[in-house]
Structure 1
Amino acid sequence: MGLFSFIKNAGAMVFGIGRAADEETIETSKEVDATELRLEEAAARNMEETITDLELQVENLSVFVDDDMAKVSGLAYDQATKEKIILVIGNTAGISSVDDQMTVEHVAPEAQFHAVVSGDTLGKIAKYYYGNAMKYPEIFEANKPMLSDPDKIYVGQVLRIPNLD
């Protein structure tokens, strides 16, 4: 359990939260608050649906979004599943932190997280963490089903780097 930080505007704008920098606001503050609350509730439900669609094994999943922070709870099947759920939520545009309140059924060593920077490839990341660029498939596999192709990572995305022990 803990608080994980992400880059707020690095993820895909797929859940209807976050605002574009040039977006004009002409609503009253009361209307904005009500609209944001509805968007946050919808975003939380969409994140839960995405996690279910990705077939990540978790019981009693609950996601709550408040502004740019998401709180997640539930019983994850294993540590890898828990970490993937945190990444699904944190790699969403508009989310800057995830408050992890999940428990794990099958405990294992925690993975490291890596924020992708310009010029990163899975091979370069594998070389940094494992000393061998050819270990990139380990990182790719650890981030499935969120990654569909080892060449499709983006700046600001946070990836799981599993222990190879």
Structure 2
Amino acid sequence: MGIFDFVKSVGTKLGFGDDEPKAEDLKKELDSHNLGTGDVQVTVQGDKAVLTGNVKDQSAFEKAIIAVGNSLGVSKVEASELKVDGSAEGAAPVFYTVKKGDNLWKIAEAQYGKGHGDKNPQIFEANKPMLTSPDKIYPGQVLRIPPLA
């Protein structure tokens, strides 16, 4: 399902120093969220992380991409070889890059339409466990935008 862009200069700092991200650090970060991504392999090509293997569902697929992509030093995540179990091809994920001044209410209104800011808990839930609080989002962070239930 292609290559996804991230902001290289923001995100979770992994390891020590300002070097390019290491595959083992990205894998450790991915596994720390308990997303069911044990069969996913991570390799690094410069500032691009490449995910291969299998995940259990579309949600795990999308969360794997943002868990790795929202790491400092990663500008792209390639997931063309990351497969969803029992599915030939999942739906195209919808991601949103947080801008200065954004909050989940504003993002919900922008993505779902005016008057749908109250749907912001769906965005928060779709980004757990990477998001621990709806108030802790930052510019440059990439969030999953789930379809409205």
Distance 1:105 1:95 in 2: 26
Give the TM-score normalised by the residue count of structure 1. Answer: 0.80
Deviates more, 1:119-128 or 1:53-62: 53-62
Flag structure 2 segments of 5+ consecutive residues without an equivalent: none
Question: Match for residue 68 of structure 1?
Answer: 47
Q: Report the CA distance shift for 1:106/1:121 in structure 2 as closer, same or farther (over 3 A).
A: farther
Choose between structure 1 and 2: higher helix proportion.
Answer: 1
Tell me whether 1:114 sits opposite 2:96 in the alignment. yes
Tell me whether 1:125 sits opposite 2:107 in the alignment. yes
What letter matches 2:83 in structure 1? T
Is residue 110–residue 163 contact of structure 1 (8 Å, CA) maintained in 2?
A: no
Is residue 68–residue 96 contact of structure 1 (8 Å, CA) maintained in 2?
A: yes
Figure out how many residues of one structure are paired with residues of the other and give that number: 144
Please give the residue correspondences for 1:1-165 in structure 2 after superposition, counting only pairs within 5 Å. 1-16=1-16, 19=18, 40=21, 43-100=22-79, 101-105=81-85, 107=87, 108-131=90-113, 132-165=116-149
Q: Percent identity?
A: 40
Flag structure 1 segments of 5+ consecutive residues without an equivalent: 20-35
Is residue 14–residue 93 contact of structure 1 (8 Å, CA) maintained in 2?
A: yes
Aligned partner of residue 56 in structure 2, secondary structure: strand
Q: CA deviation at 1:49?
A: 1.9
Question: Match for residue 22 of structure 1?
Answer: none
Deviates more, 1:120-129 or 1:107-116: 107-116
Which digits, 9 at most, give the CA deviation of each residue in 1:89-123, with x for residues without a partner? Answer: 11111110011120001545333100000010000
Which has the greater radius of gyration? 1
Which digits, 9 at most, give the CA deviation of each residue in 1:28-85, with x for residues without a partner? Answer: xxxxxxxx6xx65xx2112212222211112422101122111111101111101111
Pairwise CA RMSD: 1.8
Is residue 143–residue 160 contact of structure 1 (8 Å, CA) maintained in 2?
A: yes
Deviates more, 1:148-157 or 1:7-16: 7-16
Give the TM-score normalised by the residue count of structure 2. Answer: 0.88
Aligned partner of residue 62 in structure 1, secondary structure: strand
